[in-house]
Amino acid sequence: MRKRILITGGGGFIGSHLADELLSRGYHVRALDNLSDQVHGPDAKWPSYLNEEVELIRGDVQAPDVVAAALKNIDAVFHFAAMVGVGQSMYEIRKYTASNNLGTAVLLEALTQRPVERLIVASSMSIYGEGLYRDACGRTHIVSERGLDQLRRGDWELSTVDGQKLSPVPTPETKQPSLASIYALSKWDQEVMCMMLGKVYAIPTVALRFFNVFGPRQALSNPYTGVLAIFASRLLNDKPPLIYEDGYQQRDFVSVYDVV
């Protein structure tokens, strides 16, 4: 019998690509998605790019009865349903907390009654805040966010308290969280809740901290949309990309195909 996989948020950007891959490997795929207007438009129809073999359930992960029905006969869960985007989370606080924190709590409560073989939850690079840095002597530093005064001066680089310039280095997952937004807080909460309940209820659980995922099917109306899609959209409309600060800032990008 084919293993049955539930993807919450399965109608979205990453979830739909994951569905394609799982189907190609012989799994039965069920997608639970509320078809948010901001991502899917006012008509809120299942996207045409979603594979027709995917079993579709339209509903909200915050609804216990919907989640219980979606989990019926499921062997593993990819929990990707969430409100995304850092800036928007700072004024739509209730929406983000309800979707991300409460939605995950509803799913986990259902899983205590119907455990699965594996749970994978989408976490985020945002929980790291600023990454790690190294000084000229090779010592690593954990730094705080740049202050408003520093930004107003046009001083874009980070430095030690005695003025030494710091260089960015790859950030390991052992770095302590530095939560600078409601979105980051909610993703940290999702991650910790899933790992905690997974341990208690013997559900092998993995949290994946995604970094700026890009690729086809990425909606420009979605707050998660990264700078690559925004730049491409402006160039296609004969407009120059807008570059802030001095243009030397660095971000890590990853293809949705690699994430899948």
DSSP string, 63-80: -HHHHHHHTTT-SEEEE-
pLDDT tier, 194 (very low <50, low <70, confident <90, very high otherwise): very high
> Domains in the chain: how many in total?
2
Same domain as 141, residue 116: no
What Rg value do the Cα atoms of the chain yield, rounded?
20
- The whole-chain average pLDDT of the chain stands at 93
Res 30: pLDDT: 98
Per-residue pLDDT tens digits for 241-258: 999 899 888 788 899 999
**Residue-level pLDDT at 27:** 98
Residue 57 inside a domain? The answer is: yes
Same domain, 106 and 147: no
Chain segment 56-67, per-residue pLDDT in tens: 999 999 999 999
Q: How far apart are CA 62 and CA 106, in angstroms?
A: 6
Active site residues: 183
Q: Are 28 and 3 in contact (CB under 8 A)?
A: yes
Report the CATH number that the domain containing residue 184 is assigned in CATH: 3.40.50.720
Residue where a domain terminates, one of 169, 193, 225:
169
- Quick one: how far is CA 4 from the chain centroid? 23
Q: Would you state the structure tokens that stand for residue 107, as one six-digit string? A: 């799913």
Q: Domain limits at 147? A: 132-169
13 falls in which pLDDT band (50, 70, 90)? Answer: very high
Within-domain flag for 52 = yes
* pTM score over 0.75: yes
Residue 221 has pLDDT above 80, yes or no: no
Which two three-digit tokens encode residue 108?
Answer: 């986990």
Q: Output the pLDDT for position 91.
A: 96
The pLDDT of residue 163? 84
* Same structural domain, 118 and 140: no
- Distance, CA of 42 to CA of 238 (rounded, Å): 27
Assess if residue 155 is contained within a domain: yes
Specify whether 53 is located in the same domain as 99.
yes
Greatest CA span in the chain, whole angstroms?
64
Quote the CA–CA distance of 221 and 231 in Å, as a whole number: 14
> Residue 26 has which token pair?
């012989």
109 and 161 part of one domain: no
**Do 40 and 105 belong to one domain?**
yes
Whether residue 117 lies inside any domain: the answer is yes
Of 31-35, 83-87, 148-152, 224-228, the least confident:
224-228
Residues 137 and 153 in one domain: yes
Query: Torsions phi, psi of 164, nearest 5?
Result: -70, 130
Q: Are 183 and 122 in contact (CB under 8 A)?
A: no
User: Each residue of 44-90: pLDDT tens digit?
Assistant: 789 999 999 999 999 999 999 999 999 999 999 999 999 998 889 99
The pair of three-digit structure tokens given for residue 142, joined into one six-digit string: 């954990």
